[in-house]
Amino acid sequence: MRIDVVTIFPGYLDPLRHALLGKAIERGIMTVAVHDLRSWSHDVHRTVDDSPFGGGPGMVMVPTVWGPALDDVAALTGPAAESSPLETALAHKLAHTGAGSVTDGDGTTGPVTDGSGGEGGTGEGAGSGTTGSGSDCGSGDDGTTGRDDRPLLIVPTPAGAPFTQETAARWSTEDRLVFACGRYEGIDQRVVDDAAERYRVEEVSIGDYVLIGGEVAVLVIAEAVVRLIPGVLGNRRSHEEDSFSDGLLEGPSYTKPREWRGLAVPDVLLSGNHALVDRWRRDQSLIRTAERRPDLLADVDLSARDREIIQGVIGEVTEENC
């Protein structure tokens, strides 16, 4: 997968170089390129915003800068071809020790990105090599598979559709994700409308609150998506058993010691009886979901036994209470 982020604060995206996402870059599973929107602004002050038509507070990001930026990122031309792919923090460390490859904790060896910090990379190499249609024809159909190969443009905004685990799973199979980070009162709507010529476009919100800009939302979305790509998480089961993967919240987890500060691990987890452990885990998920997110229960297939467990928390399970 290749991820491009367009922002006026490239440094905000540095966390992408760390931990799991950094490892995915090391392994060549993912390439990330961060582009400074101001590279497409040509006035002396490198302006990217202006006052809103119709009046009102704040500033709106101008289409005359965003349009060319998104054209170039789709086609990987202009300044978008020049920005070097994001390197991982580990690559930087190794550059100082002179090592050429890294052995991961799980014993696999992955390639290391050049840590020189030099310019000129084009972002090629890892990922699928998809560069999008790069054309301005609306369909993006590759003519052979019937698949729309235009990159997916994601615009984080509090006015977007909710970003959920289902969205993350859907996007985890994409070849190219391009994120457009708005600031101020957002981006002129014509940018999003026009981008639909070169991209498939989705406007999403990560929650019912307002952030200062889209950058933090990109970090959240990228982490949720990338961890679902095969090979990124060591243990596949760990995301199959996530909260939300079966529509329920995950129950509590325990590790050693068996007793800590007078608190014991539930006996069933020490029983060695896998059927009992599975049933106990399901019950804990049901109880937690009923207590914290009863709205989720409406979309879950519930057995008679499941309903009994939930009744213990919220009484009779009806259309009204879940």
In the set 206, 228, 248, 317, which binds ligand ADE (CB under 6 A)? Answer: 206
Q: What gap in Å lies between CA 241 and CA 266, rounded to an integer?
A: 19
* Cβ contact 163:203 at 8 Å: no
Residue keyed to tokens 């840590």: 115
Q: Does 162 engage in binding with ligand ADE (CB under 6 A)? A: no
Contact between 284 and ligand ADE by CB under 6 A: the answer reads: no
Query: Minimum distance between the CB of residue 207 and ligand ADE, rounded to whole angstroms?
Result: 5
The 3-state DSSP class for residue 97 equals helix
Stretch that binds ligand ADE, among 95-103, 207-215, 247-255, 309-317 (CB under 6 A): 207-215
- How near is the Cβ of 223 to ligand ADE at its closest, in Å? 14
Are the C-beta atoms of 175 and 127 separated by less than 8 Å? Answer: yes
- Is 167 or 205 the residue whose CB approaches ligand ADE more closely? 205
Q: Is 207 in the site for ligand ADE (CB under 6 A)?
A: yes
Q: Which one among 131, 157, 284, 289 touches ligand ADE, defined by CB under 6 A?
A: 157
Part in contact with ligand ADE (CB under 6 A); list of ranges 14-22, 62-70, 154-162, 264-272 = 154-162
- Nearest residue to 155 via CA among 188, 118, 106, 122: 188
Q: Which member of 15, 79, 158, 251 binds ligand ADE (CB under 6 A)?
A: 158
Alpha helices, DSSP H only, in the chain?
19-26, 63-75, 79-82, 89-97, 165-171, 189-195, 215-226, 237-240, 274-292, 304-314
Is 24 among the residues that bind ligand ADE (CB under 6 A)?
Answer: no
| 3-state SS assignment for residue 11 | helix
* Closer Cβ to ligand ADE, 75 or 187, answer by number: 187
Task: Return the residue of 89, 211, 233, 300 that touches ligand ADE, per CB under 6 A.
Answer: 211
Q: Taking CB under 6 A as the rule, does residue 210 contact ligand ADE?
A: yes
Helices 304-314 and 274-292: crossing angle in degrees, nearest 10, is 40
- Please choose, from the candidates 169, 247, 161, 171, the residue with its C-alpha nearest in 3D space to the C-alpha of residue 208: 161
Residues 213-242 as x/- pattern, contact with ligand ADE by CB under 6 A: -x--x-------------------------
The answer to whether 62 and 138 are in contact (CB under 8 A) is no
For residues 50 and 56, the answer to whether their CB atoms sit within 8 Å is no
Residues found near ligand ADE in the complex (CB under 6 A): 156-158, 205-207, 209-211, 214, 217
